[in-house]
Amino acid sequence: MPILALFMLLNAIGFYCMYFTSLVGVKFPFVLVVNLMLFILSFLSLIRLQKMDITKPNQMVQSVMMGTLVKMMVFAIAALIYSKQQKAPVGMTTLLISMGIYLVYTYLEIQWTLKKQ
C-alpha cells in the first residue's frame, strides 16, 4: 500500500531529522503527529472508498468531499486544542511542512478514487 509506505517514509525522515540534524524553526514532534493523524484519516477514507458502489459517480464525489471536510474539521479541532495547551508558536516552516504532507495524502486519496472508477 502506498499510504503505508508514505507514512513510514515520513516517520523515518522525521525521526532522523529530529535526532541527527538541527533544523531551526521546525518542530518535528508536531510534524509526526500531523503525519499520524493524516495516515489514520486516509486509511479510514480508503476503507470507506472500498465499500462504495462504483456505479454511482455522485456517491464517489460525495465521498471525497466528505473525507476532505472530515479532515478539515479534525485538524481545526486539533489546532484549537494545541493552541490552548502550548504557549510557544508552531512556526511557519512547521506549518508549511504539515500542509505539504496534507497535500500528498489528499493526492493519494484522489488517485484511489480515480482508480476505483
pLDDT tens for the chain, 117 residues long, are 788 888 888 889 888 888 888 777 788 888 898 899 989 988 888 888 777 777 777 877 787 788 888 888 888 888 788 778 876 777 788 888 888 998 888 888 888 777 766
Ordered by start, the domain boundaries in the chain are: 2-116
CB atoms within 10 A of CB 102: 18
What is the Cα 10 distance to its own chain's centre? Answer: 11
- SS3 per-residue string spanning 84-117: HHCCCCCCHHHHHHHHHHHHHHHHHHHHHHHHHC
CA distance 40 to 59: 22
pLDDT at 36: 92
Q: Whole-model pTM above 0.85?
A: no
Question: What is the tens place of the pLDDT at every residue in 31-48?
Answer: 898 899 989 988 888 888
